[in-house]
Amino acid sequence: MHLNSLRGAFDVEIGEKKFPCLINMNAFRLLTENEGIKLNEFEKEMQRNPLGFIPRVLYWGAVNHLERAGKSAKTLPSFSTWAAYTCENEKRLANYAEQVVNCMSPPTDKKDKDKDDPGN
C-alpha cells in the first residue's frame, strides 16, 4: 500500500543557485490554494499551458520544501524570475516536466508489471 505515492524530490536550477523542490500532496495543496487551479484540472492545465504550469508546480514544490524545514519562502526569487529561468533551457524544462508528470502519476504495481513483462 502506498500512502503518498504522489511524491518527488529534486533540485531546480535558477541561475547559479539550486533550490530543493519537494512535490507531494502538500505542494499540490499549496498550488491549488494559491493559484486557483483545482486538483482535477492539473492534467488539462498541463496540456493547455505547460510553460506556465510546470514552473508553478516547481515553485510551490520549493515553497513546500522550505516550509517543511521551517524556513521562509522569502528566500526564493519572485515567481516571474523563477519561471524565466525554468523556461529558458528547453532540455532542462523537458526534464522538469517529466519529473512533475512522474510525481503526478501513481506508481505502477510491480506485480502488474511483472505479468505484462515476462522477460527475455
Sketch the domain layout of the chain as residue ranges.
8-109
pTM, to two decimals: 0.81
- pLDDT per position as a tens digit, 64-114: 999 999 999 999 999 999 999 999 999 999 999 998 888 877 666 554 444
CA 106 to chain centre: 14
- In order, the DSSP letters of 12-27 are EEETTEEEEEEESHHH
pLDDT at 107: 61
Bin 32: left if φ > 0, else alpha if -120 < ψ < 50, else beta. Answer: alpha
Is the C-alpha dihedral spanning 77, 4, 104, 43 positive or negative?
A: negative
